[in-house]
Amino acid sequence: MSFRLILLQQAIQFSFLQLLMLVIFPIAGFFGWRRGWKEEAITTVGLIFSLVLFANPTVAENMAGLLNRIVNAFAVFINALFGSESGERSPFIDSENFENFRAISFIIGVILSYVIGSAIGSREETSRGGQVIGVGVGVLNSYIVLSRLLDFWIAFDKDGANLPFDEGVGITVSSISQDNALKDNLPTIFALLFLVVLVVTFFRLPKMRE
């Protein structure tokens, strides 16, 4: 592969990440403003639990083993109920579908986190400061989800790049970088959020003193 083609591959990947950030982060900030800091904070807690359970391969393997035992026990119960023979069964989750299990479980955890956050959190009487904090936490939540999904995408795509816009530009590339480039932008994201909080605090400080 030529050096120019490698540069083109990395440019496509980085441009796609920029496009994701430009589209998803403002949307997440808008919904964070609407939902308020309570709903977003509860969602953050759920996302952290999802990361702990399914982002770590060791913990995810234990969860897969637990689910296999539950499925096996349920199968034994059904066979005993209907008088069927119970032979040896292959595990419901094995090495071939383990990564799929992690990705699907994390997505389900994300959905439940947002649903529970909306159900428990309250939007009534949310102050302007609470809405601003909601924007920051909403962007943080979207970063957690997007970064984790990109990690899953990279893990699935080790043997060959399936980058967006490949068909449009008509090129074929080999493996993509195994680094999640979105994580490199985290300091900039938090710096911008901190700047927004400072500006809002500066303009609201006279009202706070009254």
Distance of CA 15 to the CA centre of its chain: 19
For 31-71, what is each residue's pLDDT tens digit? 888 888 888 888 999 999 888 888 888 888 888 888 888 88
Q: How confident is the model at residue 15 (pLDDT cuts 50, 70, 90)?
A: low
The residues near 117 (Cβ < 8 Å, ≥ 6 apart) are 35, 39, 40, 41, 42, 43, 46
Beta-carbon count within 10 A of 80 CB: 10
Write 15-20 long-range contacts (CB < 8 A, 24+): 16/163, 16/164, 16/165, 17/150, 17/181, 17/182, 17/185, 20/146, 20/182
The tokens for 156 are: 């699935």
pTM above 0.75, yes or no: no
The tokens for 47 are: 């996302």
89 φ, ψ (degrees, to nearest 5): -120, 145
Over the chain, what is the mean pLDDT? 71
- Domain residues of the chain, as ranges? 3-205
> Checking phi first, is residue 121 left (phi over 0); if not, alpha (psi -120 to 50) or beta?
beta
For 159-196, what is each residue's pLDDT tens digit? 444 444 344 333 333 333 444 444 555 555 555 555 55
